[in-house]
Amino acid sequence: MHFSLGIDAGGTYTDAVIIRDSDGKVVDSSKALTTYPDPLPGMKNAIDQLDSGYLKDIKLVSVSTTLSTNTILENTGFPVGLIMVGDYVIPEKLPTDYWVAISGGHNSDGEELQALDLDSVEEFALAVQDKVSAFAVSSYFSNRNSEHELAVKKAVKELTGHPVVCGHELSQDLGAYERAITAFLNAQLIPITHKFIQSIITEFESRGISANMLMLKCDGSVVGIEEALEKPIETIFSGPAASLVGASYLSKLDTCTVIDVGGTSTDVAMMQNGLPQLSSSGAVVGGWQTRVKALRMETSATGGDSHIWLKGDRINVGPRRVIPLCRASAIYPEFREKLKHNRVAKGYLCENIQVTKFFVRTDFRPIELKAGEREIYRHIEKEPVSFGDLLIALKKRPSPLILDSLIQKRLIQAIGFTPTDALHVLGEYTEWDVEAARLGAYILGRSLKLSPEAFSSEIKRRVARNIAEDLIAYLIEGMPRNEIDRVLMGKNFTRFRVDIPVVLLGGPVGAYVEDLKRLINAEFIVPEHADVGNAVGALVGKGIKRVEILIKTRLVPKFREEKPEGDEEYGIAPESEVIESTLRQEKKNEFIVFSPSERKKFEIYSEALEYAEKLGRQLVMDYMVSAGLEKEDIKIDVSRKHLIPKNWTGVPMETILIYVGVGISKNTRAV
């Protein structure tokens, strides 16, 4: 009997599941804390908790990870040389110090605008080859003609031996600068991804697991390990994609909205007719607009580990993530006593100065700390210290801004009261130390004249309202948040209704169902194994390939030979005239087909259309068969969009053919 293993390394937890291939049933699952900066130890811990009897029969492993996303957000990728070809506007803000703009590029019809300046390319490559680990190149309208990008790639690889990523290889969408950013981010991830994947392969080999390996992309599809190595940028936001696919599988719903309440954030996305709903503009990560096809999702910094803190009599939820008091007490034996006797001077309360907040050193190594940062950092060790402890050690008030800076640099981690603690107090989730959570609720609630239960109930209601607000903001794009909140608060004498099922994922997410039902009229579903739904999604993602082909109509000059009047049949002119010919300029239609593989011209629209239709299907089929799918398991849907301006006659000005191939790998056909 064969089994498949799914692993999702999320922001807080790493989940693992084993699914029996014969019937798709989840036979074992586990959770472990995600480890930073290397997620591999957390993955090992999750695998160690699984039944070893199943592991020897694992034939497929699929992984989703925050590695790519975190690398970009933390700006810890490898240095990259960026080459921009063509006369397009380059913003002042660039992601690298090593860049050059050179002559070249094409127009929207794929015709060369300027000759490619390869001499400048070679000069730049040689100048920075010892300072960078890879190169990225984006040429003006390379999605219409990739000749210049490919020429640059060939020249740079021959000169330096470094990997070179082209913008057209990652996106066929318009936007030379956005394709440049996409190529740059992909290039800086390649060395990190290679190391990570090799570590996973080595780990599985050491356990005697010989399995085909896949990774989940941010559009909810899975790819083979070779493509994941070439295009690691496509694995950003694979966590939300995993939750969406997993929720659809566990609930057996092809159309549903999914809410994933994790430790760090809440993500809302939608599955429609078995396919994830995608963003039309591409993923934004670390403030950079890319052209990566990713889920359309609504994300907020509300999670089980969001920091609950007071300022005056106002309760704040997040946005920072902290270690819950209940978990800290389980990790640090003396913590509960420290919490009980902690004190904070009145009037200094802010997010980093709370009676229930502590700080502990992480395993990150400090680099280039400022004097004030060094002074505070040396007093924070592996055991939690409070603001009061620092006050005594420093003999002066620690700067909350410096504490914040150390947290941002991930050199220290905060401990505080969270929604997870509130659920512990209410008895709805009791994984850790209930008494530590209750003590925190007592301390915070006392200043508001609320009992621990009343304070925790209020936190639970607020979290439910935040989740509901995210759901409506996703479904009704553009509706102001304050208006959504007014309706949820019951101030407009009306109520939201959602007509498709809403599937909830996350550890204790079932605790919020009744509160959500009071806010929104909808069917809320918490499927079995909802706590490890992301790992399920990492495994059961379908093979999906999207190909877009454009047919563009343009008028081109046509010169016709015109002769003097005479006998047209025999070509005889009047005797009194000298036979001369002239060229007369006319206009005719030309049809250019742009595809990821080539650019081709036709004189007849129907021939261009026939060619595009065959090519699109072939590109999808070839890709999916090469990924290990059987032809009989591949379904290809085609949609067409025509651009026909007002008063335009004849064939469309533009025709866009979008091919979506969907298939299930033979390894997961039963899943």
Instruction: List b or e across 230-259, with b for residues whose CB sees 16 or more CB atoms inside 10 angstroms.
Output: bbbbbbbbbbbbbbbbbbbbbbebeebbbb
Residue 485 lies in a domain: no
Residue 198 lies in a domain: no
Does residue 452 share a domain with residue 547? no
Question: Distance (Å, rounded) from C-alpha 548 to C-alpha 249?
Answer: 28
Q: How far is CA 287 from CA 181, 235, 284, 529, in A?
A: 11, 17, 6, 34
Does residue 433 share a domain with residue 552? no
Residue 573: what pLDDT? 38
- End position of a domain, from candidates 188, 213, 242: 188
Residue 63: what pLDDT? 87
- End position of a domain, from candidates 410, 431, 456: 456
Does residue 452 share a domain with residue 317? yes
Does residue 443 share a domain with residue 346? yes
Beta strand 323-324 pairing with 298-300 = unpaired
Quick one: which of 206, 195, 145 has its CA closest to 37? 195
256: phi then psi, degrees, rounded to nearest 5: -170, 160
Residue 572 lies in a domain: no
Residue 571: what pLDDT? 39
Residue 433: what pLDDT? 95
Residue 640 lies in a domain: yes
Task: Please count the helices (runs of H) and the strands (runs of E) in the chain.
Answer: 21, 31
Residue 126 lies in a domain: yes
Residue 664: what pLDDT? 65
Enumerate residues 6+ apart whose C-beta is below 8 A from 364: 36, 37, 409, 410, 411
Residue 577: what pLDDT? 42
User: What domain count does the chain have?
Assistant: 3
Q: Angle at CA 54, nearest 5°, toward 53 and 56?
A: 85
**Start-to-end C-alpha separation, the chain:** 14
Enumerate residues 6+ apart whose C-beta is below 8 A from 326: 420, 421, 424, 431, 432, 433, 434, 436, 437
Does residue 556 share a domain with residue 420? no
Quick one: which of 192, 188, 230, 236 has its CA closest to 78? 188
Question: Distance (Å, rounded) from C-alpha 201 to C-alpha 540?
Answer: 20
Residue 503: what pLDDT? 96
Residue 3 lies in a domain: no
Domain region containing 552: 543-561+588-663
Enumerate residues 6+ apart whose C-beta is below 8 A from 76: 37, 70
pTM: 0.75
Q: Are 667 and 59 in contact (CB under 8 A)?
A: yes
Helix axes 533-540, 238-251, angle to 10 degrees: 90
Does residue 548 share a domain with residue 417? no
Residue 119 lies in a domain: yes
Does residue 422 share a domain with residue 552? no
Tokens of 266: 């809440």
DSSP 184-206: HHHHHHHHHHHHHHHHHHHHHHH
Paired with 112 in beta bridges are 106
Question: Distance (Å, rounded) from C-alpha 442 to C-alpha 451?
Answer: 6
Q: Which residues of the chain have pLDDT under 70?
A: 73-74, 344-348, 556-587, 627-628, 664-671
Quick one: which of 332, 381, 376, 325 has its CA closest to 355? 325
Position of tokens 């609720």?
441
Cα-to-chain-centroid distance, residue 530? 21
Beta strand 80-85 pairing with 99-102 = parallel
Does residue 438 share a domain with residue 552? no
Does residue 321 share a domain with residue 431? yes
Does residue 548 share a domain with residue 449? no
- End position of a domain, from candidates 405, 433, 456: 456
Question: Distance (Å, rounded) from C-alpha 262 to C-alpha 266?
Answer: 6
Does residue 449 share a domain with residue 327? yes
Residue 90: what pLDDT? 78
Q: Are 593 and 551 in contact (CB under 8 A)?
A: yes
Give 118: exposed, middle or buried? Use CB within 10 Å, 0-12, 13-18, 19+.
Answer: middle
Does residue 444 share a domain with residue 316? yes
Residue 142 lies in a domain: yes
